[in-house]
Amino acid sequence: MTVKTKVAGNISTGNSEIDKKLGGGIPVGSLTLVEGQPDSGKSVLTQQILWGSLGSGHRATLYTTENTVRSLISQMKSLNLDISDYYLLSYLHIHPMKAIKAGEHARQVLDNLLEALASEEDLVMVDSLTSFLSRGTPEESIAFFEDMKGLCNGTRTILGVMHSYAITDNVLVRISSMCDAHLRLRIETMGAQLVKMLEVAKVRGAQRNTGNIISFEVEPNWGMRIIPFSKARA
């Protein structure tokens, strides 16, 4: 494991093609929304950003409803994104969370999560917010993102992941407007092939012009394999 000196200004994904499309990476001190369809690659993209951030000198914390510590490390290792040394040396903290249950008050759970996020520094990721937002009111969802935005104090960077169906389109527009970066994932049929598509809806303060669409596949022992858009459309 090699821990590099932290690079000011952006957080690298560890993939030069994705960094280029993002205009240099995820801006430090930003609030980023990753949203999309089921199985469109949201968690894989999140894991790629997590791995890249650690390799570029950032410390990271992941709150996850999708994995245990063991399953996350194993899953990422199978994608050639080995984070085990970072975890053992405490450069990475992983906090499994339970999805909200019927009858639980969403606002209280979100407030508890905000309190936890406020105690963290550097990069903080939540994968995913779906169960919390889908059981809350539109007002609670908007207020939660406003509060998360307030926690991004110049050094703390927050990335939240959710399914598109967790909130209405109107709420999504309002939430996206307050986020510094918005990454949208979907699955499209290209001929006889299903291809995952990453749309860079916006990256505020990007160091370079951002690209709009990235097409990719997820392969064992490789991770995210970028497919040239012209080839994906063929």
**Greatest CA separation for the chain:** 49
Strands 213-219 and 223-227: antiparallel
> Domains of the chain: which residue ranges?
10-233
| Span of 94-103, 130-139, 168-177 with lowest mean pLDDT | 94-103
Q: Would you say residue 15 has pLDDT above 80? A: yes
CA atoms of 40 and 138, how far apart (whole Å): 24
β-pair partners for 197: 186, 215
Q: Would you say residue 100 has pLDDT above 70? A: yes
pLDDT value of residue 212:
86
The alpha-helical segments, DSSP class H, found in the chain are 16-21, 42-55, 69-78, 84-88, 106-118, 130-134, 138-151, 169-178, 229-233
185-206, pLDDT tens digit by residue?
999 988 788 999 999 999 987 7
Mean per-residue pLDDT for 58-68?
A: 97
- One-letter amino acid identity for 5? T
Looking at the chain, the whole-number percentage of residues with pLDDT higher than 70 is 93
β-pair partners for 2: none
Q: Would you say residue 53 has pLDDT above 90? A: yes
pLDDT value of residue 2:
58
User: CA 177 → CA 96, 134, 195, 221, distances in Å?
Assistant: 29, 19, 27, 36
CA atoms of 230 and 138, how far apart (whole Å): 39
Q: Which of helix, strand or coil describes residue 220? A: coil
CATH 3.40.50.300 corresponds to the domain 10-233: yes
pTM of the predicted structure, to 2 decimals = 0.93
